[in-house]
A = this chain, B = another copy of it.
Amino acid sequence: MRSDEDWYPGHLRELSETECRELLTEHRVGRVAWEAGDGQGPVVLPVNYRFDGEHVIFRTSPHSVLARSFRRGPKSFQIDDHDNYNQSGWSVLVRGDSEVLEWDDLPQDADRPTPWVEGNRNVYVRITPMSISGRRVLPG
């Protein structure tokens, strides 16, 4: 997005959970967010993911900030997209519980998320949604 482009005022519409699930299924890059407990705001980092219809699954390096500070518990996952030409956009937010997957729980190869970065990325994290919500901004 360039500095001379602004969103024009539009109309905000809540997305149904079905629409949110469709968007989660279609996309591959999103952001995981969690509270790091250091008195600053949440950590928010992009990841490559898969949504298997029930869970968000992504892979990370055992040396990443995420893996090193990983604790089971509340995490969020967010995707969005915006179109400057049409001045519209949408976002989906998954809030839920997270855990590191055991080997036996892993999806088949084809369904495994592909990491952005080369190296040994063998920590799989699964977020089980407690809530899924979304919104769309339509052109004004």
Contact = CB atoms under 8 A, between A and B. Distances in A.
Interface of A: 1-3, 5-12, 25-29, 31, 33-35, 39-46, 48, 74-78, 80, 82, 89, 91, 93-96, 98, 114-119, 127, 130-131, 137, 140
A44 B31 contact: yes
14 contacts: A3-B25, A7-B29, A7-B48, A7-B115, A10-B116, A10-B117, A29-B89, A31-B44, A33-B42, A40-B74, A41-B77, A41-B96, A42-B76, A45-B93
Q: How many copies does the complex hold?
A: 2
A43 B95 CA distance: 8
Nearest to A78: B44
Nearest to A9: B118
Contact of A41 (B46, B75, B116): B75
